[in-house]
Amino acid sequence: MTANLAIPELAAAVERPVAEAAGLPNRAYTSSEFFRLELERIYAPSWACLGHAADVPRPGDLRPVHLLGVPLLMVRTASGTVRVFHNVCSHRGNELVWEPGRVKGGIRCPYHAWTYDLEGRLIGTPNIGGFGVHEADGFDRARHGLRAVRSGMWLDLVFVNLTGDAEPFETWIRPLAERFEGFGGPGYEGRLQPAATHGEFRFDVKANWKLAVENNLDASHLPWVHPALNRQSPLEDHYCFLDSPRFAGQGSTAYDTVPHESPALPRIEAWPARTGEYPCLYPNAFVSGHGDHFWSMVLEPVAPDRTIERWRSYFVDEAAEDAGFESARSAIRERWASILGEDVGVVEGMQRGRRSPAFDGGVFAPVLDPPVHHFHRWVARRLAAPETDRATA
Ligand code: FES
Ligand SMILES: [Fe+2]
């Protein structure tokens, strides 16, 4: 299978210095085999982002999510922690939960009503021993609970490692967590609260997930795709950072508070007033930090040519939940929905361009495209690495 995808050739072409390198070829964006290979070599062995913990705010809340086709389930347990399980019933393999929702007693399979508690233990097996008999000789419920997935959380984002053998989550996230701590000071993260209102939106984008990442790393489209933003926070006030192997991004030193009618929002005092930071944590999480609000966007790759993007915003301290900040929350959501919505057109245009026989990877602009090249290298190295090295390639 992988012979057709010519992974070693692709990796060699991407690996060259930026001015000579080729971008990932069209098949990386259009082929179902390539998409399956990305699950096996990129998403499963690393820490991939599954969603926001705020999507399951109360004990008993459930949210089914697909990670490149793999059915998973986010659960808020009775003790308030978020756990992730494979979303499949141990009996005959029905997908267990089909819609987001909330349960009281347990999670019941729609097929034959086997039931699991919020910790994944199998607690009900109706009629397993014959009509009206709910136990069976030799059947040990303790051995047939839901299969847990290794997970970790940072800034309300839930990450999973499907293979179970990636480095510890805390080690993996540390460089980015420290970068943000450098702005916000220790403990800033504990002050962030999901927006009380106007806190989310989503886009259903007809494009490969990598094009969304590349666009997020590309500052040079700013004057052309976001003219209003560029007037307020011009390209020349942007800087990029590429020093970590697992994230890259851009920042602005001309960030300006979103205009709104209410009093000033509570702030992380240490965060520089005009700094906005926008890292992309590979493979699929965008994070954004400002003194008075944060947001993150999770990419859910659905198919080679389809990605769902889920955005959520966060504010500082419970004081920001006050009704007096309604217009601020709304203005911030509107601003980002507008800016990120402007990107959808070019990202989908990039996908359509990958059907052209006249293009097969393109070239990088040597001064402004190194962040995109950085990401292509990250992808190519993981695809080409031997199995034992994939988690750290
Ligand atoms: S498949 Fe779930 S109870 Fe039978
Ligand atoms: Fe953009």
Residue 270 in tokens: 């240490």
User: What are the Cα distances from residue 122, in Å, to 17, 90, 119?
Assistant: 54, 9, 9
**Amino acid identity, position 307:** T
111 CA distance to ligand 1 middle (Å)? 5
pLDDT tens digit sequence for 299-334: 999 999 999 999 999 999 999 999 999 999 999 999
Is pLDDT of 235 > 90? Answer: no
The answer to whether the beta carbons of residues 335 and 265 sit under 8 Å apart is no
Question: Cα–Cα distance between 203 and 216 in angstroms, integer?
Answer: 15
Q: Which residues contact 81 (CB under 8 A, 6 or more apart)?
A: none
Residues 190, 339, single domain; the answer is yes
Confidence of residue 393 (pLDDT cuts 50, 70, 90): low
Can you give the CATH number for the domain in which 140 is found? 2.102.10.10
Ligand index nearest the alpha carbon of residue 280: 2
Burial of 118 from C-beta contacts in 10 A (0-12 / 13-18 / 19+):
buried
pLDDT digits (tens, 9 = 90+) for 3-34: 788 999 999 999 999 999 999 999 999 999 99
Q: Domain for residue 166, yes or no?
A: no
Q: Are residues 88 and 12 in the same domain?
A: no
Q: Which two tokens stand for residue 376?
A: 């292509």
Does 54 share its domain with 93? yes
- Residues 224, 319, single domain; the answer is yes
Q: Is residue 103 part of a domain?
A: yes
Average pLDDT over residues 134-146: 96
Per-residue tokens: 362:
């393109």
* Mean pLDDT across the chain: 95
Ligand 1 centroid to 73 CA: how many Å? 16
Can you tell me the mean pLDDT for 70-82? 97
**Residue-level pLDDT at 1:** 57
Q: How many domains does the chain have?
A: 2
Residues 56, 40 share a domain = no
Give, in order, the Cα–Cα distances in Å from 391 to each of 35, 165, 198, 386.
18, 8, 37, 10
* Omega within 30 of 0 (cis) for the link into 283: yes
The CA angle 255-256-259, to the nearest 5 degrees, is 150
* Residue 319 sits in the same domain as residue 250: yes
From the CA of 126, which ligand is nearest? 1
The domain of 82 spans: 49-153
Give CA–CA dist 245/34, Å, rounded: 22
Please answer whether residues 295 and 312 qualify as being in contact, where contact means their C-beta atoms are separated by less than 8 angstroms: yes
Q: Give nearest CA residue, ligand 1 atom 1.
A: 92
- Whether residues 301 and 242 share a domain: the answer is yes
* CA-to-CA separations, 236 to 231, 233, 252, in angstroms, rounded: 11, 8, 9
Neighbours of 265 (CB within 10 A): 22
Residue 36 has pLDDT above 90, yes or no: yes
Residue-level length of the chain = 393
Per-residue model confidence as pLDDT tens digits over 85-119: 999 999 999 999 999 999 998 999 999 999 999 99
Instruction: Using a pLDDT cut of 70, give the percent of the chain over it.
Output: 99
Shared domain for 102 and 191, answered yes or no, is no
98 located within any domain: yes
The answer to whether residues 61 and 178 belong to one domain is no
Q: DSSP string of 201-250?
A: EEEEESS-HHHHHHHHH--TTHHHH-HHHHHHS-GGGEEEE--SSSEEEE
Distance from the alpha carbon of residue 171 to the mean position of ligand 1, in angstroms: 38
Helices (H) and strands (E) in the chain, counts: 10, 18
Indicate if 305 and 378 belong to the same structural domain: yes
Q: Kindly state whether residue 321 falls inside one of the protein's structural domains.
A: yes
91 ligand 1 Cβ < 6 A? yes
Same domain, 104 and 138: yes
Residue of 86, 111, 125, 127 with the most ligand 1 atoms within 8 Å of its CB, for mutation: 111
227 assigned to some structural domain: yes
CATH of the domain at 215: 3.90.380.10
Whole-prediction pTM = 0.96
> What average pLDDT does the segment 47-73 reach?
97
Q: 160 in a domain, yes or no?
A: no
b/e map 351-389, b = 16+ CB within 10 Å: beebeeeeeebeebeeeebbbbbbbbbbbbbbbbbeeee
Please report whether residue 239 resides in a domain: yes
Question: Comparing C-alpha atoms, which of 172, 153, 162 is closest to residue 81?
Answer: 153
Question: Closest ligand 1 atom, CA of 113?
Answer: 3
Torsion of CA 290, 375, 299, 8, to 10 degrees: -170
In a domain, residue 194? The reply is yes
